[in-house]
Structures are given as C-alpha cells and as structure tokens.
Amino acid sequence: MTSILQVKNVNKSFGGLKALNNVELSVEQGTVHAIIGPNGAGKSTLLNCFVGRLTPDTGTVDFDGTSLLGKQPHEINQVGVSRVFQTPEIFGDLSLVENVMIPTLARRDGAFKLNPWQRVDSIAEVREKAEHLLADVDLQDKKDMIANSLSRGDKRRLELAMCLVQDPKLLLLDEPTAGMSRADTNKTIDLLKRIGERGITKIVIEHDMHVVFSLANKISVMAQGTVIAEGKPEQIKGDPRVQEAYLGGAHL
Amino acid sequence: MIAPTARNDLILIGAFAAAVLTAPLWLAPIGAGYPDLLQKFAIYGLFAIGFNILFGFTGYLSFGHAAFLGVGSYAAVWSFKLLTMNVLPAVFFAVLVSGLFALAIGFISLRRTGIYFSILTLAFAQMSYNLAYSVLTPITNGETGLQLTTSDPRILDKMAGIDYGAALPTTDLFGTEMTGYPGFYFCAVLMIIGFVIAVRIARSPFGTMLRAIKSNQNRLNYTGINTRPYALAAFVISGMYAGLAGALLACTDPLAGAERMQWTASGEVVLMTILGGAGTLLGPVFGAGVIKYFENIFSAFNHDILMSIFDFLPGWLQGIVVTVSGLFVGEGWHLTLGALFMIIVIFLPGGLMEGVGRIAKLFRKDGGAANSSVSTAPGE
Amino acid sequence: MDAILLQILNGLDKGGAYALIALGLTLIFGTLGVVNFAHGALFMLGAFCAVSLRELLTLSMKVKDESITFFDAYKEVPYLEVWFGETGTMIIDLAVPLSILFAIPIMLLIGLAMERGLIQHFYKRTHAEQILVTFGLAIVLQEIVKAYFGANPIPQPAPEAVAGSANIGALFGLGDSVVYPWWRLVYLAFSGVVIAAVFAFLQFTTFGMVVRAGMQDRETVGLLGINIQRRFTIVFGIAAVVAGLAGVMYTPILPPDYHIGMDFLVLSFVVVVVGGMGSLGGAVAAGFLLGILQSFASMNEVKSILPGIDQIIIYLVAVVILLVRPRGLMGRKGVMEG
C-alpha cells in the first residue's frame, strides 16, 4: 500500500501550550483513516496544519510527494485536498446548485480566471456535474433553494457534495455527524460508505464511536497532542491505553 | 421574480435602454425632463452601478470611492487642457488613470477585510483629498479647482486647426457640443454600456465568485479559489466606473475640484446603492435617480413655496408645519438625506428593489419556491 | 529643544481630544459590539451644550445707556449682570467650565436615548449596517444643529483667568521662547483627569468589573445571571458624556461649527484602529501619539523635506499599522476581521 499523506515529527505550540507534540501519521491510499481522542487532544489543530490554516513549528507534511507546508489554503485544495468543516461552511446566500457549481468551476478553471463575459449557466458540463452530485446526496429536489434555509443535516450533506464534486484525492472530515440526530447520523454513515466506493482517501475526526467503527479501516488515537495508539478498529477497541486516555488516566 | 436566463437578460437590457433613452419624455411630467438633471441621473447611475459591483456583489464596503470620481475628473480636465476638447480621449484617460489608481489602493486595502478595509479606503480617500488641497496644487489647482483657460495648449485641437479664439472652449464629440440633450445622450449611452457590462459580470463565473466572496470568503479559499485577485478585479472595475462618472461630470462642466473627493461624497454613493438595493442590478441606478431627483426638488423649496403648499391648513397649524418641514428642504436637504439613510437601513436593508419585490409577492401570493436570481438576492 | 517641547505640547491637547473620543468609541465597540459613526456627533453636541449655556447666561434686556447723554440710547445687558452685578459678569465669564455641569446630564440623556432608541436594535446586524445607520444619525444630528445655530463657527472665550499664555519655558529653564496658552494646559489636565476617572471607574467598582468581564466574554457574564444589557446601556451613556465633555472643553480652542464632529470622528476612528480595536489603553496611547505626531509633521522644518506630510501623517500611520500589525498597537486577536 502506498501512503498518500506523510506527517513526520510535527510540533505546534501556542504560547507555552504544546498543542502538537511530535505527531507522526501515515495515511494510506484509498483508506478511511479515523483520528479519535478526547477534547483538546490536538485533532483539529492537526487538521488545520494539513489545509494551510496553521503552519507547524517543526516537522513535515507531505501529500502525494509534495510538501503542503507554506502553501495557501487554495493551493492545497488545488493539489487535491478538500475539507468538510465542523460547522458547515457553505455559501449561505446562494442556491444549492450554485454552491456546488463553484467548486466545480474551481476545479475546472483553477484558482483564478477572469472571465466576466461568459454566462455561467451556459457551461452545461459544470451545471450537469453539480446537479449530479446534488442527486448523489439526495438534495436534487432542493437545488434552487437558498442554502441558508436548509436544516443542519442538509447543510452538511451539501458541504459534502461541494467537496466530492472536486474529485479530491484526500477528503478531510471534521466531525461529520456532530450535532446530528441518530437517524441523520445513520443516513450520513450510509452516504459516506457509498462514496467510499469511489476510492477517495478520507481522514475522519469523530467523537461518535458508532460512526468511527462503521467507517474506519484504520484508527489513530491522539491525546495531549500526540498519537498514542494506532491500528485496525479491532485492535484499538481493546487497547488499554485508549481507554486510559478517554478516562483521563493519561495524566500520568 | 424572473429567472436570469440569457433571453430574460436581453429583455432587461432592452427595456433598460429604452427607458433611459426615452427618459426625457416620461420624466417630463414630474419635472425632471430637462438635460441638466437627466445628465446627473446618468452620471451618478454609472457611479452607483460600479460601486455596486464592489459593495453589492463582493460585499466590500468602500468608504473612499469618491477619490476615484475626483481622479477621473482631474484626468478628464487635463485631457481637455493638454490634448483636445473632444470628450472621447478625456473619458479614455479618466478610466485608465482611475483604474491604475484603484489598482494601487485596492492592492493595499484588500489585504484586510471587514471594517478594516472600510477604514483603509477611507484613509486613502482622505489622504487624496488633503493632498489635492495642499501639495498637489500644481496638478489640482487647490481650492479654486482645475479649470480651462484660453491659453491651454490643446495640442490635438491645434493640429486639427481648431481655434476657439478668445472665448473659453466647450467640450464636444467631433463637433457636437456636449451641452443640453447631446450631452445627456452621450452620458446615457455610456450608462447603458456600463449597465450591460454589469449584467454580464453578474451572470458570469467571475460574478459568481464575487458573490461567493460576499457569502463566505473562507469557504471559497478552501474551495481552491484565490479570492484576492477576484476582489481586486472587482475593486479596479468599480474604480474605473467611478473614474468614468468623474470624467462625465467634467465633460458636462469642465472643471474639477477636490470637494468631489470628500468622504461625504463617498457616503452618498453608498446611500444610493443601498437605497436602491445593494447587489441588485437595477437598484443602484434607481437609487441614484431617486436621490438626485429629490435633491433637486427639495433644494429648490423655500419658505414661500411651503406656505403655498400648506395653504389649506388653518393659519396656526400652517405656521408649525411649514417651520418643521422647512428643516428638511432647501439648505436642509442633507437632513432629509440623513433621515432617509437611517430609515432605509432600519426598515428596508434590501433597498427599494426589495420593497418592490415584497409588494409584488403580496399580490401574487405564490412565492413558494425560493429564487436564486441575482437581481433579487437581498443585499447585506 | 524649545521647539520640540512646544510641538509636544501642541500635539498633546489635540491628542487629548482624540483620546477622549477614541476611548468612548472603544468602550462602545468593546461592550456593545457596535461601530458608532455617530460618536463625532456626540462631541459636536457637547460643544453646542457650551454654546447653548452661554446663550442662556447672556440672555439680555434693554437698558438705557447712561454713557450717552444727548439722546435716549439703549444697550443690551445680560439679566445676570442686571440682577447680580459683578457676580453675574463672573458667572458669564465662567460659562465654559460651567457647561461641564450643564452637559453631563444632557449628554447622559442623549446617550441613553440613542442606545435604547436605535443602537440596541443593531447589536446583531452587520458592521456595515451599523456604520451606515449611525452615519445617517450623525448627519441628522449635525443638520439639526445647523438649522438652529447656523453654519458659522461660534467662538467661545475661555475664562479670563486662563485666557492668556503661560511661560512654560521659564518653568523648564529654557528661556522665554516657549509660551503656551493656559487653556490648552487646562484641556490637557482635564482630559487626563477624565481618562483617569474612566479607568478608575472600570478598575475599582463592581460595575466596572462586570463591564470589563463583559468585554472579555459577553456570553459567560450573561449566563451568570447578571443583567449585562442594562450595564451596557449605561456604558453607552458614559461614553456619550465623555465625548460631550471633550467637546465642551474644546470650544475655546476651536470655535465649534456643526461639522466639527465629523472632522474629529474620522481621525478618532483612525486612532482606534491604530490603538487596536477593543483596547482602551491602546485608544488613549494612540490618541496622544498621533496628536504629537501630527504636530511634529506640521513643523516647517519637516514640511520642507516632505511637503504635505502634515495633511496625511495620521492616515499614513494608520495604513502602515493596519498592514504590518492588523490588530493595532494593543489590539486583541481577530477583532472585527472578516
């Protein structure tokens, strides 16, 4: 198996607080890799280092053979990394279909293209692709609605469609089911399983163990800014270190 | 609410052009059918259309756009002085110079967002205004303002053998003087062109990106879009519109003063845009028209006119009403403007176009499916 | 050396006015989260409190002019002088300082009315809308003042006792060349006292403690069951009083007209941004700093090297600060970005 994301020796401090401490992570192509751990373990901080929101103090983050460090968020997206946020980040004032057309255009035209004279609705391929993706996440009948009017669960699915339409090589999911009802959570799990068939590598941060164990091929457990355990779901389930971390026993 | 299809846009543009070109006829009954005022409608309409591309579409509130208006005026007057009284080179240079000026200011200001951006643009505009009054006097002629003189070189005119003799020259378009109706139609045609460009931008992928910046700039960055060049392009385009409007002010009356760059002038174009409806296509033109129209009417009112209007009231009440309403007219026009500003922001933040939309909805009662049309997207 | 001292002094009193306005702007922004473009108008209203009080005190009656004997001549004499003689004259002379007492209740009422009537509805609206509505209010206020008091500046003399100039140079042993108007020194001292009072109030009273906690984390304070809203309304009133007093005392330095507030507002906003949005100390420091900087920039020696620098120095500093240190000199993280 080839590894698509290589994280080596990453450290990050805020003031005196060490948020990430020598993090090592290797994500293999085509897998679903879950990162779990108690609050404040550094999961989101690590994710922010992948997408250009934060820069680690030391260490390397290599994606598909190139370093992601020092790259702007849009540059990182352009090399094939898309992210779903903890609270859905969508274009609230625009229609659903426009929400999905924008990432489609970004993939097609690159980070900047000055084309003020072309009609956006005349680019059939972009519209078709966007509508197709909306159908994939069961939002096709709401495609002309304004995105802000959606329920929270629908917003999450919309955001997922916005990421998937870009055919990313790596998809980062930050608590994709946080704040969802059980029914919505199960729906999302089904959806994620379905898109799993496309072979997109995914990193999932999640608190809900039900979600983690239904999706992940591999799990890394973080506590106090470092990876304390790593393995297949069955291995992690029985690992005493993991239970310790969750029960607070990690404060040695 | 009309879907933004290519066909509907053609109808919109056609109707707009027809309405503008026939304005002298249908505005005559309300006392606005004369060229001086019509010219103002067209010029400030252009200014607001351009401002809307930045504020309405992209969501960046500039408090310094009057600077570009002023720069456009100065560039145009210099073209009249040095080259020719023909308006085309003046318009060309004004747009060019204000575009370059906007590029420089936008490049710096757009490094910040939100209110910091507003303050930066305000700071640049105030600097331009202060400098125009002081050290840049050789270029701007300070407080007096830049004017034509009989001794101006006018190289191109001399080469073409045009001599104005001892009289001050007037602006022209290949021999047609830019006063009265020809002046209005020149401005009107340019405004229609400006409107067409704005419609095309709104419907383009570029325009979609601008609206996405307004909606959620952060998401757009993580979607692989480099937002800064988009915002900068919007800034420069709107600066060029402002420069064009400034040039047209100079075409109809060839002098340029620094007061055109003052921040209250920047505030006025903000008001026009939100009054009509920021982010809509017709709104800014509408807003500019309403403000310039009422400015014209209200400023002309005086005590005697008010007395005759309220003649039907009993004497004591007439006195009170006239005194109170007298505050709002004539010199007090700015009071009306300020009150209008507040009322619009408080009660109708989407502007008049939203108001029209609400009324239309009341009549139709079928507004089930929400609409995504640009022309009806509410402004922020 | 003399020249430098003089420029610093020159800058300090203007800086004092900037600091007082910026302090109020920051208080309002830090507590209510509102960008108040009408704050300059409060300064202006304060100045016109002074104008009004003088007009009240000098209400006059016609008295026969005894100095003219060959026909009946009349002259206007203020009631106060008719009734109280010398004491009346003295009261009129002290009109500006007396206006402080007059302005405090008025400005407090105006501030409370403004907050309850308008500002409270804009807490949750966008900053752009806050700017626009308060900008509209500022225009309305200044046009009303213009309608009553006219468009021309109305000079307000300082009390006679401090009308002259102080020989500061002698004080510092620098010779007689540093002469400085007494009133400006009074203004400087006054702004120092007001600033100290505001800080002491925030630092040492329970009320102030709650307000400071609210500036840090509004939601948590709200959760503690403290009625933070009512306190914030009072904070707005205090900010209005501070701006108003700054205006009252500035009248002898610059005769007020209806748009004096706008001129100060733009500069004060720049001061707030330089000091750091939400930082009270930053607002005060930046106010004095920019005042002094502006005063140095208007020295002939400086102007001959950099023509026009006096006109743009404050804006230029703001641009540089915003670009290299977006949070300002002492700003908190991420305030108002986005």
> Average per-residue pLDDT in chain B?
87
Q: Give the pLDDT of residue C170.
A: 67
| B192 CB-near residues (< 8 Å, 6+ apart) | B13, B16, B17, B20, B21
Chain B hits for C137, Cβ within 8 Å: 338, 342
Question: Can you tell me the distance from the alpha carbon of C251 to that of B284, in angstroms, rounded to the nearest whole number?
Answer: 41
CA dihedral in degrees (C215, B61, B266, C123; nearest 10)?
A: -30
Provide, as residue numbers in chain B, all residues whose Cβ is less than 8 Å from the Cβ of C34.
none
**Domain residue extents for chain C:** 2-57+108-324
Cα-to-chain-centroid distance, residue A78 = 15
Q: Which residues of C touch B122 (CB under 8 A)?
A: 266, 269
Task: Return the residue in C119, C139, C144, C303 with the most chain B beta carbons within 10 A, the one to mutate for interface testing.
Answer: C139
**CB atoms closer than 10 angstroms to residue A207:** 14
Distance CA C130, CA B118 (A): 13
> Which of A93, A155, A156, A169 best probes binding to B when mutated, by most B CB atoms within 10 angstroms?
A93
CATH class as words, domain A3-80+168-247? alpha beta
Confidence of residue B378 (pLDDT cuts 50, 70, 90): very low
**Mean pLDDT of the B260-283 span:** 88
Which amino acid type is present at position B268? Answer: E
ipTM (interface predicted TM): 0.91
CA–CA distance, A83 with C125 (Å, rounded to integer): 29
Residues C202-210, mean pLDDT to the nearest whole number: 87
Interacting residues of C145 by C-beta distance below 8 A, sequence separation 6+:
C44, C45, C48, C258
Contacts of B135 in chain C (CB under 8 A): 307-308, 311
pLDDT reading at B169 higher than 70: yes
The CA distance from C141 to the nearest CA of chain B, in Å, is 8
Q: With a threshold of 0.80, does the pTM exceed it?
A: yes
A touches C (3+ CB pairs < 8 Å)?
A: no
Where does chain A hold its CATH 3.40.50.300 domain(s)? 3-80+168-247
Q: Is B112 on the interface with A (CB under 8 A)?
A: no
Token duo for residue B287: 């807003």
C320: which chain B residues are within 8 Å (Cβ-Cβ)? none
Distance from CA of C338 to the nearest CA of B (A): 5
- Tell which of B63, B331, B342 to mutate to test the C interface (max C CBs under 10 Å): B342
At residue C76 the predicted structure's pLDDT band, cuts being 50, 70 and 90, is: confident
**Touching C: B residues 268-327, CB under 8 Å:** 270-271, 274, 327
pLDDT at B219: 94
Q: Which of B203, B211, B227 sits opposite A119 (nearest CB)?
A: B203
Q: What is the phi-psi region of residue A55: left when phi exceeds 0, alpha when psi lies from -120 to 50, beta otherwise?
A: beta
Residue of A nearest to B368 (CA): A145
Question: What size, in residues, is chain B?
Answer: 380
Give B-chain residues touching C319 at CB under 8 angstroms: 108, 120, 123-124
Distance from CA of C10 to the nearest CA of B (A): 21
Task: Give the integer Cα–Cα distance in Å for C36 and C129.
Answer: 11
Establish if B5 touches chain A: CB-CB under 8 angstroms.
Answer: yes
Query: Does any CB of chain C come closer than 8 Å to the CB of residue B14?
Result: no
In angstroms, the CA B127 to CA A40 distance is 48
Interface mutation vs chain B, best among C135, C263, C303, C337, most B CBs within 10 Å:
C135
pLDDT digits (tens, 9 = 90+) for B67-122: 999 999 999 999 999 999 899 999 999 999 999 999 999 998 998 888 888 888 98
User: Which of B9, B13, B59, B371 has the alpha carbon at shortest distance from A120?
Assistant: B9
pLDDT of residue B210: 96
- Does an interface of 3+ CB pairs under 8 Å exist between A and B? yes
Q: Which of these, B284, B252, B283, B254, lies nearest to B268 by C-alpha position?
A: B284
Show which residues on chain A lie within 8 Å of chain B, measured between beta carbons. Answer: 51, 72-74, 77-78, 82-83, 85, 89-95, 97-98, 101-103, 105-107, 109-123, 144-146, 149, 162, 166
CB nearest to A120's CB, from B204, B214, B216: B204
Q: Using the predicted structure, report yes or no on whether residue A220 has a pLDDT greater than 80.
A: yes
pLDDT exceeds cutoff 50 at C336: no
CA distance A32 to chain B (A): 21
- Using CA atoms, how far apart are residues A222 and B226, in angstroms rounded to an integer? 33
When scoring A112, A139, A144 by the number of chain B Cβ atoms within 10 A, the one with the most, hence best to mutate, is A112
First to last CA, chain A: 36
CB contacts of A73 in chain B (<8 Å) are: 221-222
Residue B234 predicted with pLDDT over 90:
yes
The CATH number assigned to the domain with range C2-57+108-324 reads: 1.10.3470
Size of interface A-B (CB pairs under 8 A): 122
> What is the predicted pLDDT for the residue at C218?
67
Q: Which residue has the higher pLDDT, A93 or C90?
A: A93
Q: What is the pLDDT of residue A165?
A: 92
Is C136 in contact with B349 (Cβ distance < 8 A)? no
Those of residues 333-372 in B touching chain C at CB distance below 8 A are 334-335, 337-342, 345-346, 349
Residue B372 confidence (pLDDT) above 60: no
Domains and CATH numbers, chain B: 19-24+34-275 (1.10.3470)
Contact with chain A for residue B194, Cβ under 8 A: no
- The listed range with the strongest mean pLDDT (A61-75, B228-242, C305-319) is B228-242
Contacts of A120 in chain B (CB under 8 A): 203-205, 207-208
pLDDT > 60? residue B28: yes
Nearest to B216 among A89, A101, A123 (CB): A89
Distance from CA of A93 to the nearest CA of B (A): 6
CB-based contact, B139 to chain C, within 8 Å: no
What subunits make at least 3 CB pairs under 8 angstroms with B? A, C
Confidence of residue C177 (pLDDT cuts 50, 70, 90): low
Are the beta carbons of B229 and B103 closer than 8 angstroms? no
| Chain A residues in contact with B207 (beta carbon < 8 A) | 116, 120
